[in-house]
Structure 1
Amino acid sequence: MTIRIFVGLLLGFAVGLVMHYLPQIVPDSPVDLWIQEYLIDGVFLVFGKIFVNLLKLMIVPLVLVSLICGVIASEESKSLGRLGSKTFVLYLLTTGVAITLALMVAQVIDPGAGANLEGDYERYVPKERPPFVQVLINIFPDNPMQAMAEGNMLQVIVFAILVGIALNHTGAQGKRIGAIFEDLNVVVMKLVQLIMQLAPYGVFFLVGKVFAEQGVDLLKGLGAYMGCVLLALALHFTGTYMTILTLVARLNPIIFLTKMRPALMFAFSTASSAATMPVTMGVVEKKLGVKNSVASFTIPLGTTINMDGTAIMQGVATVFIASAYGIELGVSEFLTVIATATLASIGTAAVPSAGMITLAMVLGQVGLPAEAIGLILGVDRILDMVRTAVNVTGDAVVTCTVARSEGALDQAVFDDPDAVEVQPG
């Protein structure tokens, strides 16, 4: 898939540049009209829109089902008392820090400053946005079916959380319905995977159309976007995580990173927290000394709700796209992005590129078009590999921190350089 997406990106880039510069090479010919009418505004527009619509198709079922399953998983820790609350709070706290850090970095660098969009993008007019107080009120739905039909994802998130809590307080009936949602989650994940098989073709048409309208000038902004995301990921990795590990868990970060290498390499190569979970479990238990009673809860929960790297991408992408459109985001918009991205991370699937689907939701909350995802989708696979490694690191950091506070971490195993090597699979 990685190779296919790169091929789609390169072909889209090449074909887009040909469509952009060919009319200049052959002036006063019908080539310009033919390219614009039949290719840019025809084939490339149609198939690009279809792919975007398929991404948007998955937003409601993905968030609803994944979030209900995440709440069910977290509520199963009720009997664990402090363990459950510590883990949940730490995961949400690190995600909130991640999205805030991403917005700050993006504001300073302003990666979309040089990408002035033309054509269809230039004609986009953002919707008038309500004040933040009204946004807070509107978070709570009065009609969940209407919220799903209109794509009001903050209301869908709240509804999913309430349903998950209700299922955990309904005894045997709740367990039966919860099992149905677990099965639905498997089906939805498979549907996401099937749609993402079309990503190389979607990348080709979306990137081709953008570069046909923009030319090579867009590369400068795209490079700035990638650099901005990687910088924010690095700051969160070395700053937030290592600070928690050093000051809160009182553990050596060098030893931690050395022993986490198998999980990080596997996460980077698969771009999937879910696929990496067995390796992560083995590392934290056998090499870092965390007891199974803690790791068996914190790692699966982290795989479900801890998506700091995805939240960072969504924050930078929102600022990048808004800047490219020449749209200024105010304090209320930033607060909305922080709240939406933090909550959306709970419902983001632990599979490659699923963050692109919830990004469409975040963009919609601040009045930006989902079609703009095409600007960054071509390079997202590279960033997805890095942010998955960050997500897996966050799972292990929180696990070690909680285990340390509960006296469930064997310091001798953690310090032992000869602890058993864990192989993928």
Structure 2
Amino acid sequence: MKKMNMLSQIFIAFVLAIIFGIIFGPRMEIVQPLGDLFLRLIQFIVVPLVLASLITGITSLNNGKKLLSIGGKTISYFLVTTLVAIMIGLTVAFIISPGEGVNLELPTEETEPAEIPSMVDTILNFVPINPFESLTTGNIIQIVFIAIAFGIAIIAVGEKAKPLADFFEALAEVMYKLTGIIMKVAPIGIFGILAPIVGSYGLSILIPLLKIILAVAIACVLQLLVTYSIAVRAFGKMSPITFYRGIAPAAIFAFSTASSAGTLPITLKNTEENLGVSKEISSFVLALGATMNSDGAAIYQAVAVIFIAQFFNIELSFIQILTVIFMAVVVSIGAAGVPGAGLIMLTMVLQAVNLPLEGIAIIAAVDRILDMFRTSTNVIGDATAAVVVQQWEDKRKKPGNAKRVGNVS
């Protein structure tokens, strides 16, 4: 195993988890503590890693104009790919019609509806009241805000704040090293996470909802093969094959854990070491992407809305479809990079177009499976942004002469 690269080890663990889960079923819960321990290790490093790497990335930019330039390019890229993702999701859903012919009884138990934050509250939630509470609770959106605020302030203060900048740079290096150590046990962790999940799902629930799983999976694959491949080649000047080979460990890990934030340390490592993205770009773009870029979640929202409308025999108007597109963009920006956030965001979209919230109870049965597809898409989308923004910055510095790992002539 030591002679194999990390991608091979993770892939083998992934395949073995599926095989053992199918063979032994629910009994595979015995290995779940291995997965839980690995997730704890990842969660242990996420907060200091995001904080230190993002602050270091901002301070290394040295001036506010460069920060605005990179930030503007990154956010614009996220918005465009998210919009494309929604259109792909809607198109695939209308073609496959996942909600037609589904014969399932809704759960009879009454559940307390989740409290849905307003749009204003969602925006205000970006700004922390107590930064220490944000750090202790692991609120990634607010941690990004804290890091950006600290980074800008350090640049503004100048030489006097250099010791603080050096501290965060040293902390970032320590966290990168710690990430490398933890990644050595990633195959074991992935096996412990995935095997119990595969063992817990039976065909009795999967077969009736197979069309919605296929719709989300196909839409995500199209986003990868079409949108991201074009973006990486046309704007990132990199071969899509080189790109996907380089980001594969993070993609598989994201698929297994269903956590964009939890995958962030591995995504940083892959983009910097395998794709040639600088630390200043990767730390800024990927941390921002973990909170703002949710192309997979946007696809999920689009497919889920069509599924619920078809299940209840409700025909959506053109205005309702436009509302779905708008709301899917908005809620994907505010979605937290943790498992299960998609259902809360879906509730907001359903309310906006007056669709029955009871449909969520059906989708919830396979949400963990759908979460795996959308999270891996989110993570790959973040990596494409890092590659594209890096190339744009290289081109701005040296027009026509930017050469990096994976460039194609």
Global fold match (TM > 0.5): yes
For 2:346 and 2:106, locate their aligned partners in 1 and report how far apart those are by CA, in whole Å. Answer: 23
The amino acid across from 1:238 in the alignment is: L
Residues 111 and 221 in structure 1, CA contact (< 8 A), matched pair in contact too: no
The answer to whether the aligner puts 1:345 opposite 2:297 as a matched pair is no
Q: How far apart in 1 are the matches of 2:236 and 2:386?
A: 10
Structure 1 residue aligned with 2:77: 90
Please report how far the alpha carbon of residue 261 of structure 1 lies from its aligned counterpart in structure 2 after TM superposition: 1.6
Deviations 1:390-412 (A, max 9, x none): 11110000110011000189734
For the Cα contact (< 8 Å) 1:95–1:308, is it kept in 2? yes
Corresponding residue of 2:370: 383
- 1:115 Cα deviation from its structure 2 partner: 2.1
1:360 deviation in Å? 1.4
Q: Deviations over 1:25-57 (max 9, x none)?
A: xxxxxxxxxxxxxxxxxxxxxxxxxxxxxxxxx
- Tell me by how many angstroms 1:188 deviates: 9.9
Confirm whether residue 297 of structure 1 aligns to residue 284 of structure 2. yes
Which residue pairs with 1:355 in the alignment? 342
**SS of residue paired to 2:84:** helix
Equivalent residue pairs, number: 291
Amino acid at match of 1:368: L
1:254 equivalenced with 2:241 (yes/no): yes
Radius of gyration: which is bigger? 1
Determine if the alignment matches structure 1 residue 105 to structure 2 residue 92.
yes
- Mapping for residues 395-414 of structure 1, pairs under 5 Å: 395-407=382-394, 411-414=403-406
Instruction: Check 1:106–1:337 CA distance in 2 against 1; reply closer, same or farther (3 A cut).
Output: same
Cα distance in 1 for residues equivalent to 2:133 and 2:308? 34
Structure 1 residues 167-194: Cα deviation after superposition (integer angstroms, max 9, x where no partner): 6xxxxxxxx84726734863799xxxxx
1:102 and 1:229 in contact (8 A); partners too: yes
Q: Give the Cα–Cα distance (whole angstroms) in 2 for the partners of residues 325 and 354 of structure 1.
A: 24
Aligned counterpart for 2:314 among listed residues 327, 330, 342? 327
Counterparts of 1:8-19 in structure 2 under 5 Å?
none
1:179 paired to 2:171: no
Matches within 5 A, 1:43-58: none
- TM-score normalised by L of structure 1: 0.60
Q: Residue 252 of structure 2 aligns with which residue?
A: 265
Are 1:367 and 2:354 an aligned pair?
yes
The answer (yes or no) to whether the contact 2:291–2:335 under 8 Å persists in 1 is: yes
- Aligned partner of 2:292: which letter? I
Q: How does 1:214-229 map to 2 (within 5 A)?
A: 221-229=208-216
1:161 alignment partner in structure 2: 123
Equivalent AA in structure 2 for residue 182 of structure 1: S
Tell me the percent identity: 40
Contact 2:278 2:390 in 1 (8 A): yes
Residues 221 and 327 (structure 1), Cα distance of their counterparts in 2 relative to 1, 3 Å cut: farther
Answer yes or no: is the 8 Å Cα contact 1:229–1:312 preserved in 2: yes
Q: Report the TM-score, using the length of structure 2 for normalisation.
A: 0.62
Flag the 1:415–1:329 CA change in 2: closer, same or farther, 3 A.
Answer: same
Does 2:296 align with 1:309? yes
Report the AA paired with residue 411 of structure 1: K
Cα distance in 1 for partners of 2:369, 2:104 equals 24
Structure 2: which amino acid aligns with 1:179? P
Alpha-carbon distance in 1 for matches of 2:270, 2:246:
7
